[in-house]
Amino acid sequence: MKHFFKIIMICTLMMPIPAYARECILPDTTSVFANESPPRAFFLCLLAEIRDLKRKQAELERIVPEYRRLVAELPGPYVNDNGKVTFEKGRKIGSATFILAARQTGGASSLPVDMDVLLSLCSGRNRCEVSLILREISVFSEEPINSTISGPCQFDYDAKTGEWIRGDGCTAGVSRGVDGESSAGARTGGADIITEAGEGCIFADADKHRTVGMDREIFERDHSKGLFLIAAPERRTKSKARFRCDLVIE
């Protein structure tokens, strides 16, 4: 019994905050080590404190899952940086950014827009805003030194028909088209530019042509549904600086 009292006393001394919250004051430690038991009131105080801690633990066990659920419901950012996706699994998508670096050796490059991501933001009752940004990159670092922006403009996409509508605010104002309509347009094979920025950045409803050049058509035939971010250095006439294209959907 003497050792039990000593253990209780040591544990209490190691946890002074909850004990003193109820003023569970130990008697003089010299008397405890002299085989004198602490008063009954001291143990009753400790038991009351333990009951409070258990209630708090039960409350936390109830609150924490709800807190995690609420955090998961908060919209989070989705980023696709040249094919590398960053997104916290289990959360709703609040915004999406697609980043594509232009090839330094020339020739167009493209990045498919994840349609599940796009539809979660821009389809049905949801009306999203789209911005396309050409960012010129410094020769000595990856920091942007100049930007050309198209947007933001409202954008809507019908998943069933592939019909898209671009509102005012982007390059060339209001426009519409049909994604996957390869039979339309003898020259372009149904491909349409949704918006473009600084000549070199394009958001389109068809992929780039495999052999793109100044004297060639830039797009493949729009033979299936899907949207693409395209970086085309050959289309730039005012600058030859390195650049990247940022497509922001909110």
Location of structure tokens 């019994």 = 1
pLDDT at 114 over 90: yes
Helix, strand or coil, per DSSP, at residue 189? coil
Q: What is the pLDDT of residue 209?
A: 77
User: What SS3 string covers 150-174?
Assistant: EEEEEEEECCCCCEEEECECECCCC
Mean pLDDT over 135-144 rounds to: 80
Instruction: Single out the residue of 151, 155, 196 nearest to residue 177, CA to CA.
Output: 155
**Mean pLDDT rounded to a whole number for the chain:** 79
Q: How far is CA 14 from CA 26, 41, 98, 130, 158, in A?
A: 13, 20, 53, 58, 64
Q: Is the pLDDT of residue 98 over 70?
A: yes
Q: Look up the pTM and report it.
A: 0.68
Which whole-number Å values give the CA distances from 195 to 92, 150, 164, 166, 189, in the listed order? Answer: 26, 7, 12, 8, 18
> What is the model's pLDDT at position 28?
62
Q: What gap in Å lies between CA 203 and CA 50, rounded to an integer?
A: 62
According to the model, what pLDDT value does residue 247 have? Answer: 97
- Across the range 200-225, mean pLDDT stands at 77
Mean pLDDT of all residues in 174-181: 87
- More confident call, 95 vs 70: 95
Q: Is-contact 21 48, C-beta < 8 A?
A: no
The pLDDT score that the predictor gives to residue 130 is 95
